[in-house]
Amino acid sequence: MARLGLSTLHLAGQGRYAWGAPGVRSAALELLRTAVHDLGINLIDTSDAYGPHLVEELIREALAPYPEDLLISTKVGMVRPTPDSWSPVGKPAYLRAAVEGSLRRLGVDSLDLCYLHRIDPEVAVSDQIGILDTLRDEGKIRYIGIADAPPEDVRWASHYARIDVVQSPLNLENQDDPLLDICRDAGIPYVAGRPLLSGELAENLSTALSWVLNQGEHVAVIPGTSSSTHLKELVQAVAGLDSHPSDAAMTPGRLTP
């Protein structure tokens, strides 16, 4: 897993809601192709909630057949009844159906990395993680991740299944996350979401991104953009950093309960 990836949140709709089709579909497709084919980005982060569903379809249209070294991570367990609402749903039957939907939209037999987008407080953690583990046993998921969960929930989930990757917000304005050390000690990747704080830290890209990456070789960043020009600036901002460490440093591993 590379240390600089691309979040596709901003490819859905317009504005901050990630709702509906992109403003210019051809531009969204071109950005994805530029990221992978021209700039060598091999970590694409998405979710079935982006659009909803539309961004996964964009990824398939732009990039399939996929390069062998491309890792696509997606997330399940979040529904979007309206543009400004995000609600976790962790019922096992729903999560199974969501994974099947992502497989179809991405056009793959197995998801490289599937995150539980949020832990549903109304459903036992063991049931939510358990169904993803079952799907991994069935060959429909390769790696399991948890996104935006507090450390106690991540540790609790790890009692029921191997957690391979953790995604959590981290940036210069939100620097204190115990999961950084937990993941470092466990030897698993920590994927920093919102490293530019939705653009608020974009004035000095190199400072903002380098601070996050310097938290450890187990850390990756996934800034998002809908502009090919901005994407190239992101790549240039980390060009002088050790953005591609050894495979061992960023290979999904095991979080010990």
The token pair that represents 83 in the structure block: 């543009």
Nearest to 106 by CA among 153, 68, 74, 138: 74
Place of tokens 């000095």: 204
- What one-character DSSP code corresponds to residue 49? T
Q: What are phi and psi of 58, to 5 degrees?
A: -60, -45
Are 17 and 54 a contacting pair, CB within 8 Å?
no
Alpha carbon 65 to its chain centroid, in Å, reads 20
Could you give the angle at which helices 228-237 and 205-213 cross, rounded to 10 degrees?
50
The token pair that represents 119 in the structure block: 């832990």
**Three-state SS annotation for 199-226:** CCCHHHHHHHHHHHHCCCCCEEECCECC
Active site (annotated) includes residue 160: no
Nearest to 147 by CA among 181, 170, 130: 170
- What one-character DSSP code corresponds to residue 126? H
- Among the listed residues 50, 115, 143, 190, the single catalytic one is 50
Q: Which active-site residues does the annotation give?
A: 50
